[in-house]
Chains A and B, each alone.
Chain A
Amino acid sequence: MDLYAEHILDHYHHPLGKGKLATPTVVHEERNESCGDDLAIELTVEGDIIMAVRWQGEGCAVSQAAMSMLSEKLEHMRTEDAAALKPNDIREMLRVPIGPRRTKCALLSLHALKNALLKLHHKPSQSWAETLGE
């Protein structure tokens, strides 16, 4: 299947979870400097459950669609499970082939999520290499 499949373009054009939360527990932004992709993720966490997810961003269809799909998946997820998400989970979620050129586009949402959760626990951000699992 090609990268710009209908469901990807659909999420890109009609993103889910886009917006702001009134009182987020944590807010975190990540950018891909080389392409200008930008995602800011907001989470409301109660206990260890992600109660609400909103995000804002700009960038290519792949980065934005991935964030849209991930935000849907995250609601009511335990923070522990969210922190354990792997690049492959995102690939499976996207259901399109992600080549090496687009890996960072596809995984910017995951990178933003991981660092949002680290921030929630007052820990320093992780690097791209850690997000990629290299």
Chain B
Amino acid sequence: MSMDTEVIRRQFPFLTARGSPCAYLDSAATAQKPQSVIDAMRQQEEMHTANVHRGMYPLAEEATAIYEAARQSVQSFLGAQAPQEIIFTKNCTEAVNLVAKSWGKANLRKGDAVVLSPLEHHSAIVPWMQLAEHSEITLAWVNMDASCAYTVESLRTTLDTVQAKLVCITGQSNVVGVRPPLKESIEVAHNAGALVLVDAAQLCVHHPVNVRELGCDFLAFSGHKLYGPTGIGVLYGRRELLEGMSPFLTGGSMIREVTRKGFSSAELPQKFEAGTPPITQAVGLAAAIKWLGQYPWGEIEAHERTLIETTFAGLQSIPRLRILGSDDPGAISGCMSFVVEGVHPHDLTAILGDQGFCLRGGHHCAQPLHEHLGVPASTRISFGMYNTIAEVQAFLPALEKAIHLLSKS
């Protein structure tokens, strides 16, 4: 199916139900959900409710089959080799924590380093900081300049100075929209003996991701940014790695056997899915993947490129406004952030919000990046497939007016 933005918009109840027009420009925080996702979840709750991997009756079998089919949807979405490599979590954050608290705790020893960059979201930083509090591992930061370009050379320099065991790398910045060169970085990290965890929370919404092509060891994302529901995230892990890891959370579902003496863990993927999983949310995520799959990536990316370029050009022409990160719109995807001299992002986004423009102001869970850029906070505009040039064209003058109101006369 080819992509017509008006047709896309009509599939989102939120975008059509509103009496007054609301330009939702905060999809990097969470995306709106299409009707098919909402319907699939409702259908699941209404007609297929039973716990999974537990009952012997047909309904329970059906629920289990549906849940496992959702896992296979994610497997094929990521190009993973086997469904056992797909672990459902609560969100992207929990997926990273799973790696830190299971693999990290067991494999990182005194003197080992986890390599990060200022582009990372707090969810890919803090789990490693917490681990470092209780062990003598170090965190090493890849250097970058104000353009926020992540270079393979800079990664190599960092890898040369530490005993790196893991490189945690974002696929796409949730603040400045730049994409590190993933494939090359993964190769360089592997050559240095480090594993690689990719935070694909933003990337997988805007660009196809294939874990086998990338060669990454772990990859994490959240359902709710991918037009799916909240309450579900995914950890991909290479099978042999996951097999060697201890469970993260423990309890029901993740065991093979429990005696008074102890327990043994179930096989993958159940080993990492303690308790009743987010069944309805898995169904919603599979529906989102199916919905997204109707549209060729080339068309999605072309549409989002025009949104980025129009916004970039418009922002650039506003006095005292500085776009953070790259000065090349071609290097930016999904979102961009800016600061305006003398105007606080919270004032700007509050005024714009009252006029129906939903943008985020703040540090966007990326304080080290803001520190790197020398600003405490910024205003972010981010896009989904449903955004239009008309929204951007309405937003730009509204922004100028708000800046004018807040500026000293």
- A36 CB to nearest B CB, Å: 3
Query: Which stretch (B76-84, B194-202, B242-250, B401-409) binds chain A?
Result: B401-409
Cα A101 to Cα B346 with chains together (Å): 10
Cα A101 to Cα B350 with chains together (Å): 9
Partner of B344, one of A2, A3, A13, A60: A60
A13 touching B346, Cβ below 8 Å: no
B405 touching A4, Cβ below 8 Å: yes
A60 touching B362, Cβ below 8 Å: no
**A3-B363 contact given A60-B344, A61-B344, CB 8 Å threshold:** no
- Hey, which bits of chain B sit against chain A, CB under 8 A? 344-347, 350-351, 354, 361-363, 376-377, 405-406, 408-409
- Hey, which bits of chain A sit against chain B, CB under 8 A? 2-4, 9, 12-13, 34-37, 58-62, 101-102, 105
List B contacts of A101 (CB < 8 A). Answer: 350
Q: What are 23 A-B residue pairs whose CB atoms fall within 8 Å in the complex?
A: A4-B347, A4-B350, A4-B405, A4-B406, A9-B406, A34-B362, A34-B363, A35-B346, A35-B361, A35-B376, A36-B344, A36-B363, A37-B344, A58-B376, A59-B344, A60-B344, A60-B346, A61-B344, A61-B347, A61-B406, A101-B350, A102-B350, A105-B346
Give the top 9 A-B pairs by smallest Cβ distance, nearest first.
A36-B376, A60-B344, A60-B346, A13-B408, A36-B377, A61-B347, A60-B347, A35-B346, A59-B344
Cα A130 to Cα B100 with chains together (Å): 36
A13 touching B377, Cβ below 8 Å: no
Partner of A13, one of B350, B361, B376, B409: B409
Cα A35 to Cα B346 with chains together (Å): 7
Cα A12 to Cα B362 with chains together (Å): 19
List A contacts of B406 (CB < 8 A). Answer: 4, 9, 12, 61
- A5 CB to nearest B CB, Å: 11
Q: Which partner residue on chain A sits nearest B377 by CB separation?
A: A36
Q: Which partner residue on chain A sits nearest B348 by CB separation?
A: A60
Cα A13 to Cα B361 with chains together (Å): 21
Partner of A9, one of B350, B377, B405: B405
- B239 CB to nearest A CB, Å: 40
Cα A26 to Cα B77 with chains together (Å): 60
Q: Which partner residue on chain B sits nearest A8 by CB separation?
A: B347
Cα A12 to Cα B406 with chains together (Å): 9
List B contacts of A105 (CB < 8 A). Answer: 346
B377 touching A35, Cβ below 8 Å: yes
**A4-B351 contact given A35-B344, A59-B344, CB 8 Å threshold:** yes
- B87 CB to nearest A CB, Å: 31
Cα A34 to Cα B346 with chains together (Å): 10
Which has the most chain A C-beta neighbours within 10 Å: B345, B376, B377? Answer: B376
Known: A12-B406, A36-B363. 17 other contacts (CB 8 A): A2-B354, A4-B347, A4-B405, A13-B408, A13-B409, A35-B344, A35-B345, A35-B346, A35-B362, A35-B376, A35-B377, A36-B377, A60-B346, A60-B347, A61-B347, A62-B346, A105-B346
A3 touching B350, Cβ below 8 Å: yes
Cα A60 to Cα B342 with chains together (Å): 9
A62 touching B354, Cβ below 8 Å: no
Cα A36 to Cα B351 with chains together (Å): 18
- B341 CB to nearest A CB, Å: 12
Cα A61 to Cα B377 with chains together (Å): 14
Cα A105 to Cα B347 with chains together (Å): 10
List A contacts of B363 (CB < 8 A). Answer: 34, 36
Cα A105 to Cα B351 with chains together (Å): 15
Cα A62 to Cα B347 with chains together (Å): 8
Cα A34 to Cα B377 with chains together (Å): 9
- B352 CB to nearest A CB, Å: 12
Cα A36 to Cα B363 with chains together (Å): 9
List B contacts of A36 (CB < 8 A). Answer: 344, 363, 376-377
